[in-house]
Amino acid sequence: MCARGATLALLAVVSCCLGGAAWGADILMTFQGDPVIPPGSYEPAVELSRGDSHTYYFNTAVVNGSQFDFEIVLEVLRGDADLVVEGPISDASGQFPATPTLQRFSLHHTGSEIVFLPREDLEDAGRGLYSATVHGFDEVSEYRITLEEAYTSRRPPLEEQAVLEAVWEKCCHSQNACYELEFAVRASGYLGPDEELDNFCHQRDQTCDSEGHITSLRLSGENMECEMPEELGNLKHLVRLEMEDNFLFGSVERVFE
């Protein structure tokens, strides 16, 4: 038997308990009675407990002819929570695919996490209704979630693109090294001088802010061999660096001092 939550900052309806406490409650969040949440920032008063989840539906359909990316930001204010985004769960005509073709995860931690859906990925997967689900991993978690349409395409500025080129030149000599960078840097030689580079800001699991500054650089397990490149210190907006499972030496602290 599914329960009902109270009408608070958002109306919360427990959509399915899936067998009770072992699975927790999957709560569908609505805004003014509408299950599709408009862009904006929300701090629900509905408690997020361990094992529970809050699901937000949002629309990625183009309605005014202007293409856009979609950004979902989860800020964990207290406790511990994680974010899963997937879709389309229905297309513009209301048809429901059997399985969503696009799925993105944040990394399980506290603090802020961005899931960025580039317009190219949305077009490939299909625009329509998507879901963002916040999962609780602490006794009680409080969070803010922001859903935002981004009409301006973001790309690393020249000085940050130069950092990526330096990383390739210094660290990516081994076979099968630096898959994430292959088509995003000139130094790899995979693209001709007249061919357009892949947009690093649109790479899966990499994140940039609205001005294109790299905020998360994830190069774990890329078979890199080098001293920690000092050029990484030029990424002034970087808040997360993941380079585990490589053959690196030197001090990260020295690079960013």
- Look at residue 109 in the predicted model and tell me its pLDDT: 58
**Structural domain ending residue among the three candidates 120, 150, 180:** 150
Domain boundary among 109, 131, 150: 150
Distance CA(108)–CA(128), nearest Å, equals: 27
Domain co-membership, 26 together with 64: yes
Q: Name the pLDDT band for 65 (thresholds 50, 70, 90).
A: confident
Domain of residue 203, CATH code: 3.80.10.10
Interval 123-142 mean pLDDT: 94
Cα separation, 201 vs 213, in Å, equals 8
d(CA 200, CA 187): 14
pTM, whole model, 2 decimals? Answer: 0.78
Select from 126, 150, 174 the last residue of a domain: 150
Q: Do residues 164 and 190 both lie within one domain?
A: yes
Residues 33 and 134 in one domain: yes
Provide the token pair at 105.
């995860």
What local confidence, expressed as pLDDT, does residue 108 receive?
58
The whole-number pLDDT of residue 54 equals 97
Q: Whole domain around residue 195: which residue ranges?
A: 158-255
What are 42-64's pLDDT values in tens digits? 999 888 999 999 999 999 998 88
Residue with the larger pLDDT of the pair 2 and 226:
226
Q: Are residues 165 and 143 in the same domain?
A: no
Same domain, 112 and 172: no
Cis-peptide, bond into residue 97, ω within 30° of zero: no
The count of structural domains within the chain is 2
- d(C-alpha 233, C-alpha 62), whole Å: 39
The pLDDT, as a whole number, for residue 64 is 81
Look at residue 113 in the predicted model and tell me its pLDDT: 84
Torsion angle in degrees (nearest 10) through CA of 87, 91, 95, 97: -30
How does pLDDT run across 146-185, given as a tens digit for each residue?
999 999 889 999 999 999 999 999 999 998 899 999 999 9
CA distance 62 to 207: 23
Do 34 and 127 lie in a common domain?
A: yes
Rounded to whole angstroms, how far apart are CA atoms 99 and 209? Answer: 30
User: What integer best gives the mean pLDDT of the chain?
Assistant: 87
Is the pLDDT confidence value at 207 over 70?
yes
- The strand ranges marked E within 119-198 are 128-136, 140-150
Asked if 83 contacts 72 with a C-beta cutoff of 8 angstroms, the reply is yes
Rounded distance between C-alpha atoms, residue 12 and residue 6, angstroms = 6
Residues 139 and 216 both lie in one domain:
no
**What are the contacts of 32-41 at 24+ separation with CB within 8 A?**
36/129, 37/147, 38/147, 39/147, 39/148, 39/149, 40/146, 40/147, 41/144, 41/145, 41/146
Q: Range with the lowest mean pLDDT among 21-35, 59-73, 227-241?
A: 21-35
Given a cut of 80, whether residue 17 has pLDDT beyond it is no
1 SS3 class: coil
Residue 48, domain CATH:
2.60.120.380
